[in-house]
Amino acid sequence: MVGVVDRGRRRLILFTTSLAAFQTPYNSTVLSFITPVLGRYFHVPLYILVYVPIVYLIPLPTLMIALGRLSDIYGRARVFKVGFALFVIGSIIGALASNVYILILSSLLMGIGSSILSPGSAAIVSQVFPEGERGFALGINAMSVYLGLTSAPFLGGIITQFLGWRSVLLITSILSILGLVISFISMRGIDILRRKIPIDVYGSTIYALALLSIVMYLLLSAMSNWFNYIYLLIIGVALLILFVLIENKIRNPMLELSLFTRNISFMAGNLTALLNYISTYSIPFLLSLYLQAVLGYNPFMAGLILVSEPIFMAALSPISGRLSDRYGSREIAALGMGIIGVAFVMLLVLNIRNLMNIAISLAILGIGFGFFSAPNTNSVMGSVTSDKYGVASGVLGTMRFTGQLLSITVASAILINYLGRYAALYLFTGIALINTVIYQSFLLGLRVMLIISAILSFIGVYTSLLREK
């Protein structure tokens, strides 16, 4: 298949898939970043407002594996275009929203679109690029993911402050339309029509319900008590066990569990990705809250301070992809996780009232991201055969967004525990905190999350190095 795709079309495909890879994490992060602005605009409390970023994230870990499987069967490019179309519709509805409930609906549509675009990007890149170029292409793709993830506060801050929050979604809709149009041009004839096998509807449904139960347990408990909704956790775990039993017995499972049990590289790469996102995703979110709500900076200034991370990430991701093609993926990914752990230690020991200390630590974090992202993706995708690229990419994406959701949930729970529920509400609605006790409580919560993140990152060094005996 690679042979019929010329270099020019491959470049267009790389641009389109990288744009899709950028859109998904950028919008999930920017919706969290502009939450204080939305609260002031719509005059709604946190328990309603919080669903704007939440409903965006929920479809990603619950639908991604199933949609990756569908794309393998019915055509990756065809399903990819549907994802872009949903993103266009959702972002336009959100930009025109007259109340927060319409905005929540638009966020859900974008989340469903993202659950298609995210696994499709890496799968299509892996399909059309030959092995000697795949690592570099995945590096560009991974650079787009992390650039979208961490540049959201910076770009969102600029757009929100000078053009208004609606312009954030309007620009998203324009980029989505551009990606959709180019995908129709560049992806002609690349679909491999595979044998139509039955879709594992039962397994897919049970898996989605299991993750949804666990996600809702974590989200609701973060605002309440960890024991009030324990029944949701029990239901989620029971459904996961049922899912494993079903997948081991049916002929055409949604997820071949042998990918985990018989493929150490696949298992290790996905586990490390999960640890990476749990440890890192909430840190820019927490620091943006610290800069805006605690220290009183406006969105533009807060974003400007946070920009050091994506600069180094963008510069190093393609380089690390090349290095992984030449020298192997595991060791480079492990180095990246180690550097990330060092960055968290620096944030713990340095005085973060000094903005330079924050910028330097985030630069180190960006360097670690740059060394980790592409090699880890290359390791996962290279551990499976080409007909499993969609499923492998879907699993990797599920780890990514499960990690994001866990990271935000755990960080929120820790802050609420240290600040108290009402003080945490003030943080999210953008009211400046000048009380010394609340300031110290915020720092304690931030430090606890940094300790957890550092530990998980250093565990990730070990898991990155796991390989078949």
Gap between the Cα atoms of 55 and 110, Å rounded: 9
45 confidence band (pLDDT: 50, 70, 90): low
Q: Which contacts of 351-357 are long-range, i.e. CB under 8 A and separated by 24 or more positions?
A: 352/290, 352/443, 353/295, 355/305
Percent of the chain surpassing pLDDT 70: 91
Three-class DSSP category at 448: helix
168 confidence band (pLDDT: 50, 70, 90): very high
pLDDT value at position 426? 61
pLDDT value at position 155? 87
For 138-151, the pLDDT digits (tens) are: 878 877 877 787 77
State how far the alpha carbon of 220 is from the alpha carbons of 6, 184, 318, 358, 446, in Å: 50, 41, 39, 31, 21
Break the chain into its structural domains and give their ranges: 2-199+254-464, 200-253
- In 3D space, the residue among 387, 402, 410, 400 whose CA is nearest the CA of residue 62 turns out to be 402
46 confidence band (pLDDT: 50, 70, 90): low
Indicate if the pLDDT at residue 420 is higher than 70. Answer: no
State how far the alpha carbon of 429 is from the alpha carbons of 28, 52, 190, 204, in Å: 18, 14, 47, 37
**Residues ≥6 apart with Cβ < 8 Å to 449:** 282, 283, 286, 410, 411, 414
Three-class DSSP category at 353: coil
390 confidence band (pLDDT: 50, 70, 90): low
- In 3D space, the residue among 26, 21, 135, 134 whose CA is nearest the CA of residue 83 turns out to be 21
State how far the alpha carbon of 196 is from the alpha carbons of 123, 128, 193, in Å: 19, 22, 8
422 confidence band (pLDDT: 50, 70, 90): low
For 363-376, the pLDDT digits (tens) are: 999 899 888 887 88
Q: Are 408 and 281 in contact (CB under 8 A)?
A: yes
- Angle, alpha carbons 322-326-330 (nearest 5°): 90
Tell me the two tokens of residue 246: 């079903």
Assigned architecture for domain 2-199+254-464: Up-down Bundle (1.20)
432 confidence band (pLDDT: 50, 70, 90): very low
What are the respective helix, strand and coil percentages of the chain, to the nearest 5? 85, 0, 15
Gap between the Cα atoms of 51 and 66, Å rounded: 24
Indicate if the pLDDT at residue 339 is higher than 90. Answer: yes
Q: What would the mean pLDDT of 267-282 be, rounded to a whole number?
A: 89
Q: What would the mean pLDDT of 351-365 be, rounded to a whole number?
A: 91
Q: What would the mean pLDDT of 110-125 be, rounded to a whole number?
A: 84
pLDDT value at position 461? 92
